[in-house]
Amino acid sequence: MLHSIPTLDDKISNTTDKGLLRAQEILLAAQQIFIEQGYAGLSMRGVANRLNIHLSTVQHYYKNKELLLEALLIYILDDYQQRIAYILQSMPHHSPLERFMAIMDMLLIEIKRPEMYSVFVEIWALAGRLTVAAELIQTLQIREQKELTKLIYGLNPALSYEECKLRALMIATQIHGLMLQLPCKEPFSLVNQQLDAAARASFLRLAMGD
């Protein structure tokens, strides 16, 4: 199932603490190369060279480039989802509107980070060629829609669950589209500030409208 991609912990659950640290170091190095050079520039040897370790060490944890990429994409997705969960958990006594707008603001900030922009644009490009990338995109969409649906229902409980899901999908689609429109080199330009304001207003209308 596309929504049952294993977590990073699932991948290395039988690894020792020392091995877990090494596996995470490898993923972080791979992530940096992925950001800087894209999938074409990512290689097992490149990761080994960046960490000054033997190629065989990288291969011990990730047998080939495809498995390394799969683990990396899972790691990125988990990190992205944990950011959302952290905000929600840190606002237990805030109003549904405050929680909703906090998540919207976080997403608008996230898509401007050069590393996030680079990663997701690369993943979207890979989705047409690699199954694991396509599965990651679909998993991300499912999780995003689920969280946004709950937030919208909290704001507007008169809406049906199906209507909340549809509005959540529209918001997620706008966020992803906005990411592709943002001039990456000037994330905080006046134009982008205006886009942010328009996006926030659109999100709020979708969530609160009858």
pLDDT mean over 100-110:
91
Which pLDDT band, with edges at 50, 70 and 90, does 119 fall under? confident
The Cβ of residue 142 has, within 10 Å, a number of other Cβ atoms equal to 13
pLDDT, tens digit, 9 for 90 and up, residues 151-163: 999 999 999 999 9
Which pLDDT band, with edges at 50, 70 and 90, does 1 fall under? very low
pLDDT, tens digit, 9 for 90 and up, residues 22-80: 999 999 999 999 999 999 999 999 999 999 999 999 999 999 999 999 999 888 888 88
Residue 81: the pLDDT is 82
List Cα–Cα distances, 194 to 74, 108, 180, 184, in angstroms: 33, 12, 16, 15
Total count of domains within the chain: 1
Tell me the CATH number at 191.
1.10.357.10
What integer best gives the mean pLDDT of the chain? 85
Give the Cα separation of 193 and 178 in Å (integer): 12
pLDDT, tens digit, 9 for 90 and up, residues 169-200: 999 999 988 887 765 556 567 777 888 899 99
Which pLDDT band, with edges at 50, 70 and 90, does 6 fall under? very low
Q: For residue 136, give its domain range.
A: 2-208
Q: What residue type is assigned to position 12 of the chain?
A: I
